[in-house]
Amino acid sequence: MIRNYLRVAVRALWRNKLYSLVNIAGLAFSMASGLLIFMWVMDEHQVDHFHAHRDRLYRVMENQQYTDGRVYTFNSTPGPMAPFIKEKYPEIELATRFTWESNNLFEHNDKRFVEKGRYVDQDFLDMFTFPFLAGDPHTALKDKNSVVISRAMAERYFGKEPALGKLLVLNTKTTFTVSGVLADIPHQSSIQFDYLLPFQFFWDENKSWLEHWDNNNIRTFLLLKEGANVQAFGEKFRHELREHVKETTTELFVQPVADMYLYGDFENGKQAGGRIEYVRIFFIVALVVLLIACINFTNLSTAQAGQRAREAGMRKVIGAVPAQIFRQFMGESMLIVLLSAVFALLIAAIALPAFNELASKHLALNLLDSRLILIVAAMLLITAFFAGSYPALFMSRFRPVEILKGQLKSGRSASAFRRVLVVAQFTLSIFLIISTIVVYQQMAFMENKDIGFDRNNLFYLWMDGDMPGKYETVRERLLRADGIAQVTASGQLPIDIGNSTTSVHWEGKDPETKILFSVLNVDYDFIQSMKMEMAEGRPFDRALVSDSLNYIVNERAAEKMGYRDGTAGKDLTLWEVKGKIVGVVKDFNFGSLYRPIDPLILHIRPRDQSCLIIRAREHETEAAIRSVEALAHEYAPQYPFKYAFLSQDWENYYKAEGQRGKIFNAMAGMSILISCLGLFGLSAHAAGRRVK
């Protein structure tokens, strides 16, 4: 019986080549698109899930509440916290501190590279699963002059030689011994690094500010004990900071490490989604494209019912029951879906490299992967059911007497149903196109928005060697160099200001008022070099010695301070340094466009200005870069010359949105292609029926 069904199905496909081709092409392209999206969704859900203790790993978060009613959520914590709470709370098995990414120069003989890495406690290697190729993970960071490096970093310095026990010099000053070599860091890790250095070394170098409980610059991770009650621990742990910082309103909580990648957004102290929202959207989009292809199949199959009706009628006359007719046509649908799946795998394999580049992923089409097999099997069954069940049911309900007498009519209901399905197809396609347009409009808005300063022709580098100590000389020489219009410096990138404090006092401040101010340390010429506009007062003046203690605030800060009769000239104290507000700069974006502009204070502190910002003359950028490079090699000969464009960094902040827009565009185009294939098939069928 099965062999007969198969033979009839193959014969039917061959006899109706055009419709078979349209069906197979539509299903193949939609299944290939769906497969790529489902692989992406699966990969997103696997980020940070490879750690052996993932069910017990948590990161410490802070909810800081202010008198303006806003609650800010941070993943930075005080430096002393990890060892203190590890001793205090019996629920904690291990705890580690974890710094933000550091760029440091490493040397070995004549090989010199700037590497990205972190400072961590020894517990880090026992908490997280990063396999060792050499060394002991339980002791690798106990010596503060030891370093653990990745395999790629080991090969850069030592080639094929064993790296264990070799020496590396950090920033031309301190020698470290390689105590461990890690396997390549998985791409499915949100924590990436080339090296790990002992936190104790970092502590000794920065103890003056790290030891304070009111300074949040370190990330803290915990491994709770087996069976620990997380909710009960959270209640005990919530007010820990109140024992160390007077009058703080900050509350602590823990978030599973397995959730921090997909559920990283918080609003007013509550979890508010994150990347998971895009994962859900693309999952739905993949289903929509697959649904469009199923509608195609249903339309074409029911349109051909008249051509297959006599066959169904004869089978019923010789004794076939409706269930057998149903199975026969479901079998044909399954055959088409199987053929489509084969072509879908081929299309997906061809498109995968381009998709990986588009999505910044490292997906692999491994046909032996049980998860991939499950995805393909689910797609086969779901597609076969939704695409084939209605046509099979439609064919099995024909009356043999009417068929054999030639009295079969497709009926208005069937024709109307097909029209409804066609409208549904294009409605779904138009929905995807509109969504794509919205995404692209959002991207265009981000790229073209006036952010309060001119980011064009600006490039920067982090000052190394003698450059920070001799900044004034460097600045004066650069201003006389080819291609350079303006030079300034700051403590952080002006589009990524991370420092913030509540230690701000101003005239008329209510003692109970607590507002979080962002703080940026700048050079005197910062406002002019960035081409910012003043709303009130004046910029800093290098000729005025008093300006080294004065401040400039943005409009948002002036508003928060409550000044209605002018802000310039008012007293302001930042970190116990008293000065005057000399001006109010117009608000500019120094963070994500998704967030409102926060209150900001600009101040002068030359010793902490590490970012050199250069504005090139129009059309003379290359000459400006050459001038800076020559000077950098003179003042920091040990360090490789690296620079970046501020405009490019700004675009990179929204790179993910651009990638999602391109994926949306591809899926919308695919839906239109599949819909047009179906429309072509129906048109060909209608034309064929009118040929005499």
Instruction: State mean pLDDT over 267-286.
Output: 86
Predicted local confidence at residue 412, as pLDDT = 55
> How many Cβ atoms from other residues are within 10 Å of residue 69's Cβ?
7
**Where is average pLDDT lowest: 19-23, 37-41, 521-525, 648-652?**
19-23
> In the structure encoding, which two tokens stand for residue 376, read together?
């393909």
What pLDDT sits at residue 316? 53
CA–CA dist 431, 671 (Å, integer): 10
Task: To the nearest 10°, report the CA torsion of 270, 271, 274, 277.
Answer: -110
DSSP-derived secondary structure letter, 109: T
Collapsing DSSP to helix, strand or coil, 573 comes out as: strand
Q: Which residue has the tokens 């230690």?
A: 503
pLDDT digits (tens, 9 = 90+) for 604-637: 988 778 899 999 999 999 999 999 999 999 999 8
CA 286 to chain centre: 20
% of the chain beyond a pLDDT of 70: 86
Least confident of 180-184, 197-201, 418-422, 545-549: 418-422
Sign of CA dihedral 553, 559, 560, 563: positive
| Residue bearing tokens 């991939």 | 372
Torsion angle in degrees (nearest 10) through CA of 272, 274, 277, 283: -150
Collapsing DSSP to helix, strand or coil, 209 comes out as: helix
Residues 662, 282 contacting (CB under 8 angstroms):
no
Question: Tokens at residue 552, please?
Answer: 């400039």
Question: What pLDDT does 233 receive?
Answer: 94
Strands 77-78 and 216-224 turn out to be: antiparallel
Any idea which of 193-207, 355-369, 456-470, 518-532 has the lowest mean pLDDT? 355-369
- Contacts of residue 531, defined as CB under 8 A and 6 or more positions apart, other chains included, come to 453, 454, 615
Lowest mean pLDDT among 100-104, 448-452, 573-577, 652-656: 652-656
Asked if the model's pLDDT at residue 576 lies above 80, the reply is: yes
The angle subtended at Cα 614 by Cα 613 and Cα 617, nearest 5°, is 160
| pTM metric for this prediction | 0.82
Tell me the C-alpha to C-alpha distance, in Å, between residue 290 and each of 34, 53, 258, 371, 379: 7, 37, 30, 19, 9
The answer, yes or no, to whether residue 38 has pLDDT greater than 80, is yes
Q: Which residue has the tokens 């300063």?
A: 453
What average pLDDT does the segment 489-512 reach? 82
Q: What is the pLDDT at residue 10?
A: 62
Q: Is the pLDDT reported for residue 401 higher than 60? A: no
Query: If you write DSSP's letter for every residue of 173-187 in order, what string do you get?
Result: TEEEEEEEEEPPPPT
Look up residue 417 and give its amino acid: F
Read off the pLDDT of residues 88-144 as tens digits, 9 standing for 90 and up: 999 999 999 999 888 889 999 989 998 999 999 999 999 999 999 999 999 999 999
Q: In the structure, what pLDDT confidence band is assigned to residue 151 with cuts at 50, 70 and 90?
A: very high
pLDDT band for 691, please (50, 70, 90 cuts): very low
Structure tokens at 135: 């060394």
Buried b (16+ CB within 10 A) or exposed e, 125-143: bebbebeeebbebeebbee
CA 198/CA 37 separation, integer angstroms? 40
Q: What does the pLDDT look like over 69-86, one tens digit per residue? A: 778 888 889 999 999 999
Provide mean pLDDT across the span 659-674. Answer: 79
Sign (positive/negative) of CA torsion 651, 653, 655, 658? negative
Cβ atoms of residues 237 and 180 within 8 Å? no
In this prediction, residue 244 carries a pLDDT of 85
Q: What's the average model confidence in pLDDT over 154-161? A: 94
The DSSP element (H or E) to which 108 belongs, if any, is: strand 102-108
For the chain, the farthest-separated pair of C-alpha atoms sits apart, in whole angstroms, at 107
Closest CA to 585 of 560, 557, 565, 555: 555
Q: Within 10 A of 566 (CB to CB), how many other CB atoms are there?
A: 12
Q: What are the residues whose beta carbons fall under 8 Å from the beta carbon of 22, sequence distance 6 or more?
A: 296, 300, 677, 678, 680, 681
pLDDT at 22 over 80: no
Torsion of Cα atoms, 399 then 400 then 404 then 408, to 10°: 20
In terms of Cα–Cα distance, which of 118, 110, 155, 100 is closest to 133? Answer: 155
Question: What angle, rounded to 10 degrees, do the helices at 17-46 and 655-689 form?
Answer: 160
Q: Which residue has the higher pLDDT, 243 or 659?
A: 243
Q: Percentage of residues in the chain with pLDDT exceeding 90?
A: 43
- Any long-range contacts for 453-457 (C-beta under 8 Å, 24+ apart)? 453/494, 453/530, 453/531, 453/532, 453/588, 454/530, 454/531, 455/495, 455/646, 455/647, 455/650, 456/647, 457/485, 457/615, 457/616, 457/617, 457/618, 457/621
